[in-house]
Amino acid sequence: MQAFTTLTAVAVPLDMANINTDMLVPARFLRKPRDERYGSYLFHDLRHDEQGRLRDSFPLNEACYAQAQIIVAGANFGCGSSRESAVYVLMDSGFRCVIAPSFGDIFFGNALQNGLLPVVLPEAQCAALRAWLEANPGAQITADLESQQVSVPGGERYAFSLDPVRRERLLRGMDEIGLTLSRLPAIEAFEARYHAQRPWLAR
């Protein structure tokens, strides 16, 4: 997994609540291999009209956001389907951080598995950040996981928190399988005891 420590990058405001994973990546792309085209599936049906032309109205299509790596969105970002492809399309389009008032639980977990930082800030702070970004299109902001702060140049700082276990894993880019397998003796002892009490689970 890619570690995440701190990131200063262009941020794009997306003033929409309930951005679900079908919007992030429509289901018809889920069969595709993760190759160099993968990032182009991000928000495909919002970015393109039925004829495949880019929609001017969608913020990600604006030139000033071409290098964006941070999204500031509305509540319940990433709700819906568990497809981890929703994280892959973000990562493969260059995004490393999403800031929102709340996230779908499964998306939140998937983001952490891939080194995409999900930052929870109160609704009013997300709205203030989006308003600032709309007044300063293409401006950079900083998301710092070490200090757990989002900051606007020469301006506001917003404190956030990630639970200590997940923060540590993300800061170090730790592989959870390696971590788990280092506990193999405890796992085997647990399973022996657990299955002795439930012999019907033997298969």
Partner 1 sequence: MSPPSAGTGTLFERIWNDHVIEQGGADDALLHVDLNFLHEGSFLAFAALRKEGRSVRSPQRHFAVADHYVPTLGRERGIAGITDPEVRGLIDLLESNAAWAGIDHAGIDDARQGIVHVIGPELGLTHPGMVITCGDSHTSTHGAMGAFAFGMGASQVKQVLATQCLWQRRPKTLRVTLDGTLGAGVGAKDVILALIGKIGAAGATGHVIEYAGSAMRAMSMEGRLTVCNMSIEAGARAGMVAPDDVTFDYLHGRPFAPKAQHWDDAVAMWRTLSSRADARFDREVSLAAADIAPMVTWGTNPGQALPIDARVPDPATANPEARRGIEAALAYMGLTPGQALDGLPVDRVFIGSCTNSRIEDLRAAAAVLRGRKARIPAFVSPGSTAIKREAESEGLDRVFTEAGVEWRASGCSMCVGTNGDLLRAGERSASTSNRNFEGRQGRGARTHLVSPAMAAAAAVTGTLTDVRRLLAGARA
Site for partner 1, rule CB under 8 A: 15-18, 20, 22-23, 26-28, 30-31, 34, 45, 50, 75-76, 79-85, 87, 102-106, 109-110, 113-114, 163-166, 176-177, 179-181, 183, 186-187, 190-191, 194, 197-201, 203
Q: CA 88 to CA 30: how far, in whole Å?
A: 11
Q: What is the distance between the alpha carbons of residues 129 and 73, in angstroms, rounded to a whole number?
A: 10
Q: Output 9 or 16, the one with its CB closest to partner 1.
A: 16
Which one, 154 or 164, has the nearer CB to partner 1? Answer: 164
Closer residue to partner 1 in complex, CB, 15/139? 15
CB 87 within 8 A of CB 116: yes
Q: Measured between alpha carbons, how far is 12 from 68 in angstroms, rounded to an integer? A: 6
Least distance (Å) from partner 1 to the CB of residue 9? 24
Which is it for strands 117-120 and 140-144: parallel, antiparallel or unpaired? unpaired
Cβ proximity to partner 1: between 90 and 152 the closer is 90
| Burial class of 151 by CB neighbour count within 10 A (0 to 12, 13 to 18, 19+) | middle
User: CB of 77: closest distance to partner 1 in angstroms?
Assistant: 10
